[in-house]
Structure 1
Amino acid sequence: MASLETGASTSGGSTTVTGASESTAASADTTGTTVAEGPSTDGPVFDVGTGHSDLGGGRPEGPVIPATCDQAEAGVSTVGCVFFGVDLDQNGGLEFDQYAIAVSNPQPGADANVAVEQKVGGVWAPVATQLVSPLTLFAFPLPDKHHQGSGVMEGGSYRVSSDVPIVAYQFNPLIQGAASSDASLLYPVSTWDTLNRAVHWGGGYGRGYLTVVAGADDTTIEVIPTVATAAGPGVAAGAAGVPFEITLQEGDIAEIMVAADNTALGGTRIEGDKPIGVFSGHECAWIPHLIPACDHIEDQLSGVRLWGNHFVASRMPIRETNGIPEDSLWQVVASEDNTTVTFTANAEVTGVPAGAQNIDAGGVIEFYAGGTAANPGDFLVDANKPIALANYMIGEANLVTSTLGDPAMVQLSPVEQYLPRYILLVPSEWELDFFVVTRPSGANITIDGVGMNDADFISIGGGYEVARVPTVDGVHALESDVGFMVTVVGYDSADSYAYIGGTGTGVINPNPEG
């Protein structure tokens, strides 16, 4: 995005800790897709079950990479059979750039028959279908369905279903060129939660928001925002700490936008009487605030029951070429009162909070971390209660030796949720793309059948190490005999995207307090 305004630099290494008090009371280019000819359906095209119902008691045990939709109902990873994608609020005219959902088939020996549907007149109707071969990926360019500002949009999502478990992602937009892009892993409906807390950034051109999607009819949602939120059709104006309700039908979305520029919804509590999907976004974020350039950011958030206690904070790739890594932004959000968070880092890492940090439910710890070429800003995070952790790329005007990249957002997996296999899309038309791979020290990981080079990894303590390795456009398979984490990051001139390649979704906190 073009530079809009300048402001202060990121230097200083300050940490912001905030608490939270709350009351209890255009047509698309569909080249490459096959348009389905079958009749409209009320349920998903494929018989994939109805999702978990007993969140309080946890889900039944199942394989991390399920082979059948029945196994996927256990909801222990983001490999699943039913997803909802949302064309999230973008920046101005970029709303109409090509939105897409990509699906990868991690099954080594089974084709995936995938269908994308939208609601027409309150009934699900086919948009496109595609057979996706084993260990390959397919992208569906989809018609514009964006929503602007606070309000309910009936049928505002796309439903994706498959007859075998797959992984799904969304790209907004699909290709570089808008200079305001991001991507998100989509969570299968079987992994959704009723209780959610927002991870969110507020500074930027335009405003930040949360978008909620319902996976079942007559879903009632209670929102307790941490800042004032704007009214819109079907959405009441919100005041900090005061609950309000929204009712949605399956496939409907509700966007909840902040009422004032440069305010953030971090820590906001969103609870449904049925499982819901929650997205965090900003039309065009400045990170830090007022530092060019702005960029659309988004991510689908994991529910509180999936949050963990132990994280490896593996930072975004380094864009500076002078041997002095630029900072990246970090946020920690607490789900319960009296949460104590500790950070462990190499002495060369800068900006990481010293000593234990104490926050209550909905509280946020926010800081910028950097370091040296040898230790550029990775660290360990441990908490006595469940937390969420997110990393953000900063704007290109913060850099000295590069104009590549701009803000992007990714929520990282706790160590408890690492997976052993990922099938990933690296989209075309970006100048540089990377895998950020976090592994137990010495673990063997292959990329497209070739073992990773041990020399690429940096040890960060605690038995973990991190590598940031360049990759090429296309579909890639990363595999190991142990769980590891991978994020996919790309950037070009004043633009970027980032998404986590997948995550476990086992219920760590069956009876959360927050």
Structure 2
Amino acid sequence: MVSNVSDSVANVSLSDKNGMVQQAQVQPGATHLFSDNGAHKMNAVTGLGDDGYVIESDQVLQVFQYMPPDGTVTADASIVLPGPALGDRHRVVTYNVHNNNTWQYAAVVATEDNTEVTFTLAQPGSETLAGGSFQALSYDMGMDVLVANLNRLDTLVIAGHWENVDAELNEFSGSVIESDKPIAVYSGKQLANIPEGQCCADLIATSVPPTSVYGTEYAGVRFLPVGQPGKYDIWRVIGNEDGTVIELTGDYQDTIMLDEGEFADIATGDVFWAAANKPFGMAHFMTGGSLLPMPFQPYDCPDVLQNPGDPAVGWVYPKGNWLNRYLFSPGTGSSLWCHDHVTIVAALSDWDQIMMDGQPLPDPTPIGGGSNHGYVYVPVPNPSHEIVAPPTVGVEVSVYGFVSHGSYFYPGGVGLQELNPAG
């Protein structure tokens, strides 16, 4: 899905290694859905492929990926990072549990020929599957680095089981992907139970930002509280440097200490503000629908959900990379996605300057903890929406939707500031 955020008609093309696959003219403020023709499918094993796509335009776009576009029970979505935002150092996020025999993965798409890519495991007990010319990796055995060379639009998939050979949990989160040229990185799990032991499993998939865009301040605002306090959310924070101390304030309070590559989970139905002494990464997970085992009718849609939502994942972006304008199309406009929402976060002092579809926002709820920020949940039943604020005002927008035992989630847009230039 491409959104034309410019004031001129955008000439947009979708191409693979063999040339242009589709093209479209997209009017200013409009969206267009490119559908994959099935020619390129990600391998379920470690190996190289030639399955990358590139979207090119003569105007500025925001791009989102839906997997698949309809409201199925195994769906997710992701923002597609633009070329200028791609980097050369990334830390992946997954969510693995015992007793779930589906594979986790990290995937790389090269943007230039002769790109050297290095994948390094970060967690004790973590392992990868062998595939093609690549041997299996094992952190505990000291064989923890994979090196590959890719040309433009070549792909590299690194896959791993849910458990290692000793039946211990095998987790890719925090693992590092480095390259000598900019690359696009994705990660997730074929089917994830979040949390462990809860029905039902669902696809989780997300684009992975470079560590150069990590920041020190994040808003932790749960999804529309369909089950408060029963259906909580999970945030995963990932350390990028030794000695990282994260202070959580607001309704949920805690102190988390991480070294490089370590991660910790925050499971709560409350909201919080996260501030640290060093840049870190944070991902947000929607949990299984069975945590709310009762019929529920959200306020924006007439039908009743038996188990609203299921696992989904997206990166949370720091305060310094919030935008002042968003144009997005929730749920691809499919009638199956009728429970679509946005969560909007901004400074309380800027709230009156923010407009959504030409109207002021509803009154905010303060996050607390001295953050001076607030949030609001807004239903988005129409195919296309715009949020606008003055250039100096930063706004965070999260877009998500759910059906019974199904969900998707993606950031409505991201900034490109290198808040952590050292990576």
- Is 1:149 matched with 2:149? no
Q: Distance in 2 between matches of 1:137 and 1:165?
A: 12
Offset of 1:357 from its aligned partner?
2.1
* Alignment map for 1:470-485 (pairs within 5 Å): 470-481=379-390, 482-485=393-396
- Is 1:404 matched with 2:308? yes
Contact 1:308 1:387 in 2 (8 A): yes
Aligned to 1:339: 244
Q: Distance in 2 between matches of 1:139 and 1:393?
A: 25
Q: Distance in 2 between matches of 1:147 and 1:419?
A: 32
Aligned to 1:327: 232
Aligned to 2:422: 511
| Counterpart residue identity of residue 337, structure 1 | D
Aligned to 2:397: 486
Contact 2:116 2:150 in 1 (8 A): yes
Q: Distance in 2 between matches of 1:205 and 1:391?
A: 23
Offset of 1:235 from its aligned partner?
3.4
Q: Distance in 2 between matches of 1:289 and 1:459?
A: 28
Aligned partner (choices 156, 170, 185) of residue 278 of structure 1: 185
Contact 2:345 2:373 in 1 (8 A): yes
Check 1:234–1:421 CA distance in 2 against 1; reply closer, same or farther (3 A cut).
farther
Unaligned runs of 5+ in 1: 1-101, 371-376
Structure 1 residues 37-83: Cα deviation after superposition (integer angstroms, max 9, x where no partner): xxxxxxxxxxxxxxxxxxxxxxxxxxxxxxxxxxxxxxxxxxxxxxx
- Is 1:188 matched with 2:82? yes
Q: Distance in 2 between matches of 1:194 and 1:364?
A: 21
Structure 1 residues 150-181: Cα deviation after superposition (integer angstroms, max 9, x where no partner): 3334321111000111111110001113x100
- Is 1:139 matched with 2:33? yes
| Counterpart residue identity of residue 206, structure 1 | T
- Is 1:419 matched with 2:319? no
Q: Distance in 1 between matches of 2:229 and 2:265?
A: 22
Aligned partner (choices 271, 275, 294) of residue 378 of structure 1: 271
The two structures, once aligned, show a CA RMSD in angstroms of 1.5
Aligned to 2:215: 308
Q: Distance in 2 between matches of 1:396 and 1:245?
A: 39
Check 1:459–1:313 CA distance in 2 against 1; reply closer, same or farther (3 A cut).
closer
Contact 1:149 1:232 in 2 (8 A): no
Offset of 1:263 from its aligned partner?
2.3
- Is 1:219 matched with 2:115? yes
- Is 1:168 matched with 2:67? no
| Counterpart residue identity of residue 501, structure 1 | G
Aligned to 1:115: 13
* Alignment map for 1:46-85 (pairs within 5 Å): none
| Counterpart residue identity of residue 475, structure 1 | S
Check 1:466–1:118 CA distance in 2 against 1; reply closer, same or farther (3 A cut).
same
Identity %: 27
Offset of 1:486 from its aligned partner?
0.3
Q: Distance in 1 between matches of 2:183 and 2:420?
A: 17
| Counterpart residue identity of residue 397, structure 2 | V
Aligned to 1:468: 377
Q: Distance in 2 between matches of 1:138 and 1:213?
A: 23
- Is 1:449 matched with 2:354? no
Aligned partner (choices 281, 294, 298) of residue 201 of structure 2: 294
Q: Secondary structure at the match of 1:190?
A: helix
Q: Distance in 1 between matches of 2:326 and 2:398?
A: 10
Contact 2:162 2:171 in 1 (8 A): no
